[in-house]
Amino acid sequence: AQTVTQSQPEMSVQEAETVTLSCTYDTSESDYYLFWYKQPPSRQMILVIRQEAYKQQNATENRFSVNFQKAAKSFSLKISDSQLGDAAMYFCAYRSPRGAGGTSYGKLTFGQGTILTVHP
């Protein structure tokens, strides 16, 4: 079974600075997807960024970028020019390419989350 580990329960950053959140995962699959989701307090979980394992190029979305190291099974999220609105719980997630019976169902396996605090 796939596992996702976020080793940083909490992180903090000054407004306008850069912060990196870590994520490692374990899988025997070669083709899969990785995601970072953001969950603000008492609010909806929002997709931040996704990465396809077959792509060597790291994904970027405005101030958010990832460092995807497939061999090391590492998938970190870098937030540049941090803003107060970035404060949230961040989850790393692995999309399983196959489910029971060998059919692709795409369920997500999540890490434990990292609480990001942004200081003004």
Q: Site for another protein (CB under 8 A): which residue of 50, 70, 73, 78?
A: 50
Q: What burial letters (b/e) apply to 24-44, b meaning 16+ CB within 10 Å?
A: bbebeeeebbbbbbbeeeeee
Shortest Å, Cβ 107 to another protein: 4
The answer to whether 40 contacts another protein (rule: CB under 8 A) is no
Measured CA distances, 87 to 45, 83, 109 (Å): 13, 8, 22
Q: Compute φ and ψ for 67, nearest 5 degrees.
A: -115, 100
Q: Indicate the residue among 101 and 120 with the shorter CB distance to another protein.
A: 101
Q: Indicate the residue among 16 and 46 with the shorter CB distance to another protein.
A: 46
Stretch that binds another protein, among 17-25, 32-40, 57-65, 70-78 (CB under 8 A): 32-40
Shortest Å, Cβ 40 to another protein: 11
The answer for residues whose C-beta is within 8 angstroms of residue 76's C-beta and 6 or more apart is 20, 21, 22, 23, 66, 67
The answer to whether 11 contacts another protein (rule: CB under 8 A) is no
